[in-house]
């Protein structure tokens, strides 16, 4: 994306090479990659940067199961491994901690047949979880590898301990990304700036009362991206995506920050810095109030207290709810819109966005600049595939 490509603004109009709509984890990483490449960029968010679903509590970075290997699982593996260096670079540049730690994951095995399945995955992990000289493992153990954390009775048939999983403090990572961008040379930030009109063919947008001319636009507005894309895509018979409500909680307890994340039947218990444990999350396709918490979260907290005794009387310091974007095919949605080539989608990533966002954002920037990013995106991520599904 060369400087000569800058659109010529009319009187009273700002211009940029690249407009990023949405300042969540996807949009922020896209802006960071744009800054690295010297691309004249505006990033706009209807609220404050990172104030939506990206500003949650959980931060679990969990790999797919190592069996039935695919291009999607390889992409996620590469992203999870590369995120470590990306965050180290970010922390060095800002002096801020992102709360990242490769602390691993514990999966209790309550029934005998699950133990047999888990042992088969050991070989799968040895085969596929390799990055150069680095090896990550999927161990099956008779009991928990650490004391004072999960109750041994939770895994009557043993426990899986994987060494690839990690965690990040979502708000700390967001804060580091925002801090980097606030002193960026090529990125301008617009907060509390609602997109009132987006015309990708003319290359114009009305944002926060300001008219902006752009050469390319990356739409990274979470679940709010879907109605925009819907309106630009004729012939759809189903929605391109939907918001899914999630509820989570933060507890204060005397725990070590390096304890492995616990995963059991959709429940995550994540040890964070400062003696905090994040618990979540629900997945609600139907809801009345996107910001409220209720008995569904209470049930998760109660289960967590039952299997982790140290959390038994731990006070709840925060309850959180937010709307996460889920594309029609569940996988992330990325790519140039087939009918509007100036518009690049960067959304979806339901439950996997924090582990993939840096790599997806880099791909989106390369798509916008018509350059090779050096890696392939899984076919199931392409916006064209999501559109095809929604057209049936």
Nearest to 27 by CA among 240, 325, 381: 325
Nearest to 41 by CA among 187, 174, 203: 187
**What is the pTM (predicted TM-score) of this model?**
0.96
Q: In which band, very low, low, confident or very high, does the pLDDT at 9 lie, cut at 50, 70 and 90? A: low
Q: What is the CATH number of the domain that holds 223?
A: 3.50.50.60
Residue that terminates a domain, selected from 327, 349, 368 = 327
Q: Is 274 left (phi over 0), alpha (psi -120 to 50) or beta?
A: left
Q: What is the CATH number of the domain that holds 158?
A: 3.30.9.10
Q: Map 161-178 to HEC letters.
A: EECCCEECCHHHHHHHHH
On whether both 255 and 158 belong to a single domain, the answer is: yes
In a domain, 64, yes or no: no
Residue that terminates a domain, selected from 327, 356, 378 = 327
In a domain, 62, yes or no: no
On whether both 248 and 375 belong to a single domain, the answer is: no
Q: In which band, very low, low, confident or very high, does the pLDDT at 4 lie, cut at 50, 70 and 90? A: very low
- With contact defined as beta carbons under 8 Å apart, do 226 and 242 qualify? yes
On whether both 249 and 152 belong to a single domain, the answer is: yes
Amino acid 5: pLDDT: 53
On whether both 130 and 267 belong to a single domain, the answer is: yes
Q: Where are the alpha helices (DSSP H) in 232-328?
A: 295-307
Q: How many domains does the chain have?
A: 2
In a domain, 232, yes or no: yes
pLDDT tens profile 135-186: 999 999 999 999 999 999 999 999 999 999 999 999 999 999 999 999 999 9
Q: Residue 283: which domain range?
A: 86-164+242-327
Residue that terminates a domain, selected from 306, 327, 348 = 327
On whether both 288 and 228 belong to a single domain, the answer is: no
Amino acid 287: pLDDT: 97
Mean local confidence (pLDDT), 277-281:
98
In a domain, 74, yes or no: no
pLDDT tens profile 226-251: 999 999 999 999 999 999 999 999 99
Q: For all residues of the chain together, what is the average pLDDT?
A: 96
What dihedral angle (degrees, nearest 10) is formed by the CA atoms of 334, 336, 338, 339? 120
Amino acid 209: pLDDT: 87
Q: Hunting for tokens 């390369």 — which residue is that?
A: 366
Mean local confidence (pLDDT), 126-140:
97
* DSSP code for 330: S
Q: List the structure tokens of 261.
A: 């994340």
Amino acid 13: pLDDT: 77
Q: Which run of H or of E encompasses 148?
A: none
In a domain, 367, yes or no: yes
Instruction: Please check the confidence at residue 92 and state whether its pLDDT lies above 80.
Output: yes
On whether both 226 and 260 belong to a single domain, the answer is: no
In a domain, 371, yes or no: yes
């Amino acid at each position: 994306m060369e400087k000569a490509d800058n659109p010529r603004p009319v009187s009273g109009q700002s211009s940029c090479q690249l407009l990023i709509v949405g300042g969540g984890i996807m949009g922020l990483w896209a802006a960071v990659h744009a800054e690295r490449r010297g691309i004249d960029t505006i990033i706009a968010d209807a609220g404050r940067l990172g104030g939506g679903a990206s500003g949650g509590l959980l931060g679990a970075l969990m790999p797919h199961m190592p069996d039935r290997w695919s291009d999607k699982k390889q992409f996620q593996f590469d992203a999870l491994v590369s995120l470590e260096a990306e965050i180290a670079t970010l922390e060095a540049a800002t002096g801020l901690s992102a709360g990242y730690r490769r602390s691993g994951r514990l999966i209790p095995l309550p029934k005998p047949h699950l133990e047999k399945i888990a042992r088969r995955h050991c070989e799968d992990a040895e085969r596929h979880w390799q990055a150069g000289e680095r090896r990550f493992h999927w161990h099956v153990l008779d009991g928990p590898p650490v004391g004072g954390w999960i109750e041994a009775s939770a895994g009557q048939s043993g426990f899986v301990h994987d060494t690839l999983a990690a965690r990040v403090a979502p708000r700390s990572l967001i804060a580091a990304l925002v801090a980097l961008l606030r002193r960026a040379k090529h990125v301008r930030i617009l907060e509390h700036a609602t997109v009132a009109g987006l015309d990708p063919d003319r290359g114009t947008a009305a944002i926060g009362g300001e008219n902006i001319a752009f050469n390319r636009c990356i739409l990274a507005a979470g679940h709010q991206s879907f109605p925009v894309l819907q309106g630009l895509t004729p012939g759809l018979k189903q929605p391109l995506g939907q918001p899914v409500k999630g509820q989570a909680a933060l507890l204060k307890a005397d725990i070590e920050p390096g304890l492995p994340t616990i995963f059991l039947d959709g429940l995550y218990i994540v040890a964070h810095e400062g003696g905090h444990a994040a618990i979540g999350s629900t997945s609600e396709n139907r809801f009345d109030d996107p910001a409220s918490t209720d008995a569904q979260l209470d049930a998760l907290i109660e289960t967590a207290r039952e299997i982790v005794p140290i959390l038994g009387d731990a006070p709840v310091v925060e309850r959180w709810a937010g709307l996460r974007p889920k594309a029609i095919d569940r996988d992330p949605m990325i790519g140039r819109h087939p009918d509007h080539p100036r518009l690049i989608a960067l959304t979806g990533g339901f439950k996997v966005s924090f582990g993939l966002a840096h790599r997806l954002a880099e791909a989106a920037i390369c798509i916008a600049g018509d350059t090779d990013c050096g890696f392939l995106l899984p076919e199931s991520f392409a916006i064209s595939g999501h559109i095809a599904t929604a057209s049936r």
